[in-house]
Structure 1
Amino acid sequence: MTRIPGTPAVSSKWHLGETPWQVIPPASPPHARVIIDNDFAGDPDDLYQLVHHLLSPSVQIPLVVASHLRPDDPFDPSGRGAENAETVARDLFGRMGLASTDRIVRGSNDALTESTIPQPAPAVDAIIAEALRDDERTLFYVAGGGLTDLASALLTEPRIAERMTLIWIGGAEHDGLAVPPPNAMPVEYNLLIDVTAGQVVFASGITIWQIPRDVYRQCLVSDAELRMRVAATGPLGRYLYDEIVAVTGLVGSHMGGVSESYALGDSPLVLLTALQSVFEPDPSSSRHVTMPTPAIDDDGGYHPVEGARPMRVYTWVDTRLMFEDMYLKLAEFGRWQDAPGEVSKEAR
């Protein structure tokens, strides 16, 4: 589980919609809305994704959904994954001096038990309300873990399927596009959190952009990058770095050492929403194929569905743009946290 040693005192406060750390303020308002859904008590790559999104003024973030892990997940086997994820998210907001904690909503601690029965949670009601709210901007639902809360919202109010686009980090490789890694889990990690929820979402009418396992595994950063371009940016960056070190140290102690790289596999959620092209808006520097949306089998595989709606499956993501943007935003934010008055005065 992501550790929570206690939020340090932070003097600089701000709210979502503000960018006091930017010397030159944003040139335009947010172009899209983004609901963030992640299992923040798990792999710390979700913390990097959350911070990066929160520091991206081109998107508005109405909700941050704290979702669950499997009850036997080694990151957090407590069975209270959503509760712990909420605690971690609130702790991270505190470390950033971000006062907009009303955006954080808790999902269900439990996976779906049947494909027709939703799991009630505060997040489900909040997702439906945001999806049905009148707003001309595109609504993205970005998920870096399981899909329980989105599936429950779709079962409760099917109309929301046509009002948002899901971007999901998860699912196995597709035949003809990629092969599984060596010794791969039989069911891909994020799908395994709630296979039934994945089946519900893929069978619904929602538009899907999928980043399957072979693609999120492309998102490697080196320890040198993390030391020099994350840990060195200030207390927030050092916290993010230390969370990775805690995981690699634990894994390495059981494996006789590990590689000096780590997959920040949830980061494409930022790339595909906040970093789209200005003209003919789209994640134009990444590559995808369009294919009929398949059904998901109980074993995590796919089978074709006649007349299925199209979906995007990403085959390559622009890691240069994605990580360079993250490093620079962390550095900019770190300078402001170190001397908030100076930067805020210049920004005015």
Structure 2
Amino acid sequence: MGRPRIRVVVDNDLGGDPDGLVQLAHHALSPSVDLRLVIGSHLRPGDPFDSSDATADNAAALAREVLGLAGRDDVPVLAGSNVGLTDRRTPIRSAAAEALVAEAMRDDVDTPLYVCAGAGLTELASAWLIEPRIAERLTLVWIGGPEHPGLASPPPGAMPIEYNLLIDVLAASVVFGDSAVPVWQVPRDAYRQTLVSFAELQLRMAGQGPLGARLFAALDGVRTTAARHGFDLGQTYALGDSPLVLLTALQSGFEPDASSSRYVLRDTPAITGAGQYQAVPGARPMRVYTHLDCRLMVEDLFATLQLHARR
């Protein structure tokens, strides 16, 4: 395969929905990726997942476990802040935010850097507030935000503020509205496309060594817990964080890009305190993904786990 083509920093709430653990394992096993740093990020207060697991420290511990099963103990893992921003001009100076700045400001590499965020944007907003020049040196790929007017409608019974955005609305507002960070967004209508069946997961993930078994147990545990609380997940699960792999590791060979998925270009909107978009005509362009190549994403995940289990 040669040397990796891209650098990746993963920033995810790995103590919450275990789709982030699947995404992390997939990135860790992707040969085109130089995985530079994993940041465990916090969940919001009152999250439906067990509040004892909502900390950035727990997310970092789970990251180390999954990376160990993937044979990637070489990847640095840091816990981010356990709280969101309180002031749009004041960063939270965590070791994770400082490490993100250091990676972005390196001048000894020329591979593109992607910050792959599957939760809130506390660490990236803090990193930009510490050093605004990072905006010229990375691309944010973010799973989060509600549907854009004219592109999609919210699903029935949708939360007033999209789940990942709600973790730290102010941080997202800083990244979108104040910074010049390039954004590739996978909003709610796009990440809800990433359905796999539990039958697929049981047959093609659960038996793929200790890593596959651990990932399946985490996903199946959500179904069991939901049923215990009277909620039926049905027979599918959304691997909603896996587009972070699709749009980075699985880019095309020639003219590298996420060419098998579709997006539209929009002026980057501001984000209000109520978690809604506010149009800013003439703002920097952003990508809003509308259709994801779930076949490539899921088939590569299963094949990658199988190959790893054979080693």
TM-score by length of 1: 0.87
Q: Deviations over 1:198-232 (max 9, x none)?
A: 00000210100000000000000001110011001
Q: Deviations over 1:72-123 (max 9, x none)?
A: 212142386101111111121222333214x111110110011111112110
Question: Between Structure 1 and Structure 2, whose CA radius of gyration is higher?
Answer: 1
Q: What residue is the counterpart of 1:106 in the other structure?
A: 79
Following superposition, which runs of at least 4 residues in structure 1 exceed 3 angstroms of deviation?
none
Specify every segment of 5 or more residues in structure 1 that has no aligned partner in the other structure, as ranges: 1-25, 337-348
Partner amino acid for 1:320?
A: R
Q: What residue is the counterpart of 2:164 in the other structure?
A: 190
TM superposition shift of 1:265: 0.2
8 Å contact from structure 1 (residues 72, 79) kept in 2:
no
Q: Secondary structure at the match of 2:266?
A: strand
Partner amino acid for 2:288?
A: V
Specify every segment of 5 or more residues in structure 2 that has no aligned partner in the other structure, as ranges: none
Q: What residue is the counterpart of 1:38 in the other structure?
A: 12
Q: What residue is the counterpart of 2:222 in the other structure?
A: 247
Matched, 1:69 2:36: no
Q: What residue is the counterpart of 1:15 in the other structure?
A: none
CA RMSD between the two structures: 1.2
8 Å contact from structure 1 (residues 112, 197) kept in 2:
yes
Cα distance in 2 for residues equivalent to 1:213 and 1:256: 21
TM superposition shift of 1:236: 1.3
Cα distance in 1 for residues equivalent to 2:183 and 2:87: 22
1:138 to 112, 135, 141: 112
Cα distance in 2 for residues equivalent to 1:29 and 1:91: 26
Give the aligned length.
Answer: 309
Partner amino acid for 1:162?
A: E
Q: What residue is the counterpart of 1:177 in the other structure?
A: 151
Q: What residue is the counterpart of 2:202 in the other structure?
A: 227
Cα distance in 2 for residues equivalent to 1:147 and 1:77: 19
Q: What residue is the counterpart of 1:55 in the other structure?
A: 29
Change (3 A) 1:48 1:79: closer
Q: Deviations over 1:257-304 (max 9, x none)?
A: 331100000000000001111111111110000010000011111011
Q: What residue is the counterpart of 1:116 in the other structure?
A: 89
1:126 to 77, 99, 107: 99
Q: What residue is the counterpart of 1:206 in the other structure?
A: 181
Q: Deviations over 1:287-345 (max 9, x none)?
A: 00001000001111101113200000000000000010010010010111xxxxxxxxx
Matches within 5 A, 1:255-270: 255=230, 257-270=232-245
Partner amino acid for 1:141?
A: V
Cα distance in 1 for residues equivalent to 2:66 and 2:169: 29
Partner amino acid for 2:88?
A: S
Q: Percent of aligned pairs with the same residue?
A: 56
Q: What residue is the counterpart of 1:89 in the other structure?
A: 63
8 Å contact from structure 1 (residues 70, 77) kept in 2:
no
Cα distance in 2 for residues equivalent to 1:80 and 1:190: 13
Q: Deviations over 1:162-192 (max 9, x none)?
A: 1110000000000000000110011000000
1:274 to 243, 249, 252: 249
